[in-house]
Chain A
Amino acid sequence: MSTFAPPIVEPTFDTAGVWSLPSRGKVGMASLIVAESAIFTIFVVAYLYYLGKSLSGPTPRQVLEVPIFYTFCLLSSSLTIHYAGKSLERDKKRAFLGLWLLTIVLGGLFMFGTAREWYRLIYEHGLTIATNLFGTTYYSLVGLHAFHVTAGLIMLSIVLAFSLAGRVTPRHFGRIDVLALYWHFVDAVWVVVFTVVYVIGR
């Protein structure tokens, strides 16, 4: 038998004669999201388990303010990135660029909100990661999420640089879609973190 063997059987397919498989980018990103969800779950469990178990103050009720505006920013960025992708698919380059930029601005605003909140907590209330259990779990959980937003913003900015150079075409829609999947995940995690930290946690 030769190494360079021909196909073993004549290609015959039951399903309309087309052999199609899922996109590896999407499957890969979905798998990564599953893994990331497990990491976040453990941090959320730790947060909930330690609610009210701090031996000293400050407590969440004393110092946390609900970041409604910045939450609105982050959640809207899911919409803008979705429509940015749609625009790219239909080859509307200007609309894509505008919406993509808007997504980055909204994500950046959210990070600005987190930075202001942390500044206030550290300098006005003296709450650091070493202060008490609340500080440890709060900065870890919110920080882990902020780290993911930052990673997303870096990737979005790389795409922005490429598209300003005119290198992003409808051909790249599949890849943009994979990145959008990650961004939606980061937004969805915020819904959980928001609920746990600012609703249940207060």
Chain B
Amino acid sequence: MASDAVAISRTEVEDRPWVDTLHEWVTTVDHKRIGLLYILFALVFLVIAGLEALVIRIQLMYPHNDFVSPQVFNRMFTMHGTTMIFFFAMPILFGFGNYLVPLMIGARDMAFPRLNAFSFWLSALGGFLLYFSFLGGSGLYGAGSAPDVGWWAYAPLTARAFSPGSSTDYWTIAVLVSGFGSIGTAVNLIATILCMRCPGMTLGRMPLLSWLYLTMSGLALIGITPLSAAQLMLLVDRYLGGHFFDTQAGGSATLWMHFFWIFGHPEVYILVIPAFAFMSEIIPVFSRKPIFGYPVMVAATVCIAFVSMSVWAHHMFTIGMNSYANSFFAITTMAVGVPTGIKIFNWLGTMWGGRIQFKTPMLFAIAFLFQFLIAGLTGIIQAAVPFDWQLSLSYFVVAHFHYVIVGGILFAIFAAFYYWYPKVTGRMLSERLGTLHFWLFVIGFHLTFDPMHFAGLLGMPRRIYTFEPGRGWDAINLIVSIGAFIQAVGILVFVANLILSYWKGARAGNDPWDAWTLEWLTSSPPPAYNFASIPTIASRRPLWDLKHPEDPDSRYE
């Protein structure tokens, strides 16, 4: 009955002129639409940055290759890194947060809907500015220019003397503007989670996803702002003749490194905590068991957020800090593995003894567990300072952080797509294409990033333009490049699945996975107002209580 009503309103929308629909989307303040805008924006940048990665891999396929010039190669790895972090990972995770958090806490919208729209358009402006640099990086004559200072943009390379033209300014301003957008969304998520919960939803009954987004937003407030401050200083240096990072006038290049990594390391956790959030919703549902150790999961997450604020200089062991600083950052880095390990044990504890359903979201979730574990272990290896001195700036590091970001975060994002797509569109994603996507991506991922560790151990430096034959890197690089193309095919299958299933997918209904959180209570897709009447809950699994009135969770709380 209810879904009929929704279907009728949908046809009405389709009959209207497309300009009206476009206008509605551009001016929207609805958290679901803004969430979708974030996600679509991020997917576009995923494809762009993926193509840049392919250019890098074609260039490194053979020794002495000259597919692109060294200048273009520098631009490619700079743009690939910057885009993936600031314009794919951040917006897509904020997009999911925007879409899901109000639904899961039983609210009708975010706390500040207009701030929400403003934050999204700031991020979009940032992405536009970054890519406009291809046209305007050296003035309008310099077509083909773009930032080429690396994604961490170390001083003094960013000084006017070494980076003339405007491409570095586009990089700075793009990152600064998107940072302001991120802060706006973080403020909004915190206010939403603390102030908009439906009756009965105490902090201890919130879905773990809300808890993890709350932690991530808090971390974003103090993690992203140092970068904004450093970018402001860089702008002062470049435009007003300041000396913050100008070694000629007594300034310090190392200070930029500190400021960048004070942002840079928490950033990893800002990205991975939402990935943990997806896992904490998906694994219980497909194991048919409530999450194991809910309070410990919350405590471990908050603990990770705190410890992650004090590990940044493990990115800087090779710059020559004193041994006390080295020891401090080595110990904190190893310590952050403890709460992370607790989380992995709790996910395993959730699966243990459960009736596991191997649907596509669960496949990606299981791959996440294995890959994220390996990624964490290679991280702890590099926390050992003498070992890091050997491996820093090698392909081992590249392999490590891609294992975290692709093997961990991207796999979690795929799991989230397969899990929540039915809620967003009302259609199921194809399981056949999903399984194909999963296996292509797993094989491509391991072909790409496993051999990279060995390239690093054999001494291959990162950001190298080309290499001499006969150093033992030839076969490895060829395999890595083949793996990259298999991943690209996997992404094509994924995008095809998203598009085809939108029209051809099976009808999902309100609750296709027999799940327990509030977003599955409303129709798919949810109406603009989310819930006709605001629900009242009495346990962590409100839909379980509804489906099993004879044995509700609330009895045991």
- Chain B residues, Cβ within 8 Å of A69: none
**Does the CB pair A39–B228 fall under 8 Å?**
yes
Segment among B151-159, B189-197, B377-385 that sits at the interface with chain A: B189-197
Contact flags B231-270 to A (C-beta < 8 A → 1, else 0): 0110011001111100001111001000100100000000
Closest Cβ of chain A to B236, distance in Å, is: 6
Q: How far, in whole Å, are A54 and B252 apart by their CA atoms in the complex?
A: 11
CB of B261, distance to nearest CB on chain A (Å): 12
Chain B residues contacting A2 (CB-CB under 8 Å) are 1-2
Q: Does A42 contact B230, Cβ atoms closer than 8 Å?
A: yes
Name the distance in Å between B428's Cβ and chain A's nearest Cβ: 18
State the Cβ distance, B368 to closest chain A Cβ, in Å: 30
Any chain B CB within 8 A of the CB of A179?
Answer: no
A126 interface contact, C-beta 8 A: no
B112 interface residue (CB < 8 Å to A): yes
Report yes or no: B250 in contact with A54, Cβ–Cβ below 8 A: yes
> With a CB–CB cut-off of 8 A, which chain B residues contact A144?
232
Number of cross-chain contacts by CB at 8 Å: 163
Which of A1, A39, A42, A130: most chain B Cβ within 10 A? A42
A35 is an interface residue with CB less than 8 A from chain B = yes
Question: In the complex, which of the residues A10, A12, A38, A53 contacts B250, with contact meaning CB atoms closer than 8 Å?
Answer: A53
A31–B229 touching, CB < 8 Å: no
- CB of A97 within 8 Å of the partner chain: no
Say if the beta carbon of A27 comes within 8 Å of chain B: yes
A130/B240 in contact, CB under 8 A: yes
Chain A residues within an 8 Å CB radius of B430: none
Tell me if A23 and B195 are in contact (CB < 8 A).
yes
In the complex with contacts A9-B538, A35-B222, A50-B251, A140-B233 CB distance below 8 A: yes
* Nearest chain B CB to A173 CB, angstrom units: 18
Chain A residues lying within 8 Å of B229, measured Cβ to Cβ, are 38-39, 42-43
Contacts of B542 in A (CB 8 A): 8-9
Tell me which residues across on chain A come within 8 A of B545, comparing CB atoms: 8-9
Question: Contact residues of B with A, CB < 8 Å?
Answer: 1-3, 5-6, 111-112, 115, 183, 186-188, 190-192, 194-197, 199-200, 217-218, 221-222, 224-226, 228-230, 232-233, 236-237, 240-244, 249-252, 255, 259, 262, 510-511, 521-523, 527, 531-538, 542-543, 545-546, 552, 554
Q: 13 A-B pairs, CB-CB below 8 angstroms?
A: A4-B533, A7-B536, A8-B521, A9-B545, A21-B195, A27-B190, A27-B194, A28-B187, A38-B229, A53-B250, A133-B243, A133-B249, A137-B244
